[in-house]
Amino acid sequence: MNELQDQKSNIQSQLDESNNQLNDVNNELTDNLQQIQKLDESIQETQENLDKLDSEISAKEQEIATKQEELDEITKNMIHKRNC
């Protein structure tokens, strides 16, 4: 009977240790998931900033193109006036 009690105690100890290990793994997974969520939020914020910058760059490129057309027209008019 004493041997059965020892086996039961040994098995209970092993179960307790396994439960502790599972809790540790669960806590680690939870921490990892929180880090992943923070990284995902950071990535989304960075993407939004990149999209905003891309839009600003496109607007500036269009503005430059328009100004270049205006400059070309002014230059063309000045050359025409000199030739007349």
Question: pLDDT per position in the chain (84 positions), as tens?
Answer: 799 999 999 999 999 999 999 999 999 999 999 999 999 999 999 999 999 999 999 999 999 999 999 999 999 999 988 887
| Span between the terminal Cα atoms of the chain, in Å | 122
Q: What is the pLDDT of residue 27?
A: 98
Q: What is the pLDDT of residue 83?
A: 85
| CB crowding 46-69: b at 16 or more within 10 Å, else e | eeeeeeeeeeeeeeeeeeeeeeee
Q: What is the pLDDT of residue 32?
A: 98
Task: Give 84's DSSP letter.
Answer: -
pTM: 0.65
Tokens for 17, please give them: 């240790």
